[in-house]
């Protein structure tokens, strides 16, 4: 039998207000909770087990709703343990800072820090902010948006520490428009990486733009992007810098999920195939072995990062907006023999194929007799 690691469970959210814990290995939705109602569509999620005092980082999670509420839920029961109100509707970022503080950002540029027993502290980072991204293990956040250049802020002082410059004009001396849709920090959290390497990686940032560009910045080197790479003809909606400190995964509005190498100016080195709709979220598991994507075709897919092979996909019925890998308590196990873990849809598809092939054989026989 073929031995391979079992992908962890995946927590997904959708634009109707439902949460689903998906067992991708068994191709089924393990459980679902939440309530479908107007204004309860989920825009973002983040783990909050550290803040909630759980036994693991994924015991609780935050979710930002379309109506401006932020809910803290238990993953095991789905119950809401806390809720907060953002400054306005439209979430641009959500994160757990530490065991005492949570962070949220809105699309009109307001960042709030929630601390239990205290009033939320607020500061302004822009006007049309599409993304607010927290860098784990530090006190820095990065922001960007529509005509909002990349900026880095210190949460301790609430002051701007870095502001990028736009790339140089084109050959006709025309200015490139600025529209950042997503941001990701390079954070090398592997056990073999030194503290100095982790600090260096925290200054390296990758952005995705609505003008189908992926850009790489080093805040210690220069204000302009180190490199800018165009991808296809569609907006790059989601970008993720993997924990190896080298690889970038970018997903666009046509479902293209590409692997880029940051060492060679963002050269495309591979593609994750099988997606049929615009990418809404990309996530990496704790071990660094698996990658999950959600898209507007209503599927969640899990890939092996090394081989870029799609291990499985699960249909969710609703359009998923975000996904998070849960901690895998079981580690590795034997892969089920082929044919023993088929879903109803697999059985129906095989029966249909048999019917079609038998019809073709009969038609060939009839043609030969003539």
In DSSP terms, 61 is beta-bridged to 47, 73
Residue 158 confidence (pLDDT): 93
Spans in the chain with pLDDT lower than 70:
1-4, 188-201, 328-370
Rg value, the chain, Cα:
22
Q: Measure the N-to-C terminal CA separation of the chain; round to a whole number of Å.
A: 49
Residue 221, CA atoms < 13 Å, CB-side half-sphere? 13
pTM for this predicted structure: 0.83
Question: Alpha helix (H) ranges present in the chain?
Answer: 49-52, 195-201, 344-369
Residue 359 confidence (pLDDT): 60
| CA distance readout (Å), 288 to 245, 254, 325 | 11, 26, 11
The tens digit of pLDDT for each residue in 248-266 reads: 999 999 999 999 999 999 9
The tens digit of pLDDT for each residue in 333-356 reads: 333 333 434 445 455 555 655 565
Residue 235 confidence (pLDDT): 95
Instruction: Judge whether 146 and 128 are in contact, CB under 8 Å.
Output: yes
| CA distance readout (Å), 242 to 195, 205, 221 | 17, 11, 21
In DSSP terms, 93 is beta-bridged to 105
Residue 358 confidence (pLDDT): 65
| CA distance readout (Å), 86 to 1, 120, 183, 204 | 52, 9, 21, 29
Report the alpha-carbon angle 58-61-65, nearest 5: 160
């Amino acid at each position: 039998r073929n031995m391979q690691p079992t992908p962890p469970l995946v927590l997904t959210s959708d634009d109707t207000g439902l949460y689903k814990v998906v067992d991708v290995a068994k191709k089924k939705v393990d459980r679902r909770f939440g309530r479908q109602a107007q204004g309860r569509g989920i825009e973002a999620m983040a783990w909050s087990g550290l803040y909630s005092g759980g036994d693991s980082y994924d015991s609780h999670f935050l979710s930002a709703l379309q109506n401006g509420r932020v809910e803290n839920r238990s993953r095991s029961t789905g119950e809401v343990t806390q809720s907060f109100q953002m400054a306005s509707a439209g979430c641009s970022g959500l994160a757990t800072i530490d065991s005492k503080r949570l962070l949220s950002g809105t699309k009109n540029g307001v960042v709030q820090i929630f601390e239990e027993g205290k009033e939320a502290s607020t500061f302004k980072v822009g006007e049309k902010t599409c993304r607010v991204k927290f860098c784990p293990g530090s006190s820095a956040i990065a922001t960007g948006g529509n005509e909002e250049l990349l900026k880095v802020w210190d949460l301790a002082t609430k002051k701007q520490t870095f502001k990028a410059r736009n790339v140089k004009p084109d050959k006709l001396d025309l200015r490139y428009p600025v529209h950042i849709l997503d941001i990701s920090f390079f954070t090398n959290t592997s056990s073999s990486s030194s503290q100095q390497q982790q600090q260096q990686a925290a200054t390296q940032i990758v952005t995705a733009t609505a003008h189908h560009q992926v850009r790489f910045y080093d805040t210690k080197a220069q204000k302009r992007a180190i490199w800018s790479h165009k991808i296809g003809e569609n907006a790059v909606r989601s970008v993720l810098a993997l924990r190896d400190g080298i690889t970038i995964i970018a997903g666009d509005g046509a479902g293209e999920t590409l692997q880029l190498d940051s060492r060679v100016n963002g050269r495309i080195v591979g593609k994750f195939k099988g997606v049929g709709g615009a990418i809404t979220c990309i996530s990496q598991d704790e071990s660094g072995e698996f990658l999950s994507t959600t898209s507007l075709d209503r599927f969640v897919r899990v890939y092996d990062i090394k081989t870029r092979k799609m291990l499985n996909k699960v249909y969710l019925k609703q359009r998923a907006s975000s996904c998070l890998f849960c901690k895998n308590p079981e580690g590795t196990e034997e892969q089920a023999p082929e044919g023993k873990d088929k879903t109803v849809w697999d059985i129906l598809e095989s029966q249909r194929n048999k019917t079609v092939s038998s019809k073709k054989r009969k038609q060939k026989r009839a043609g030969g007799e003539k």
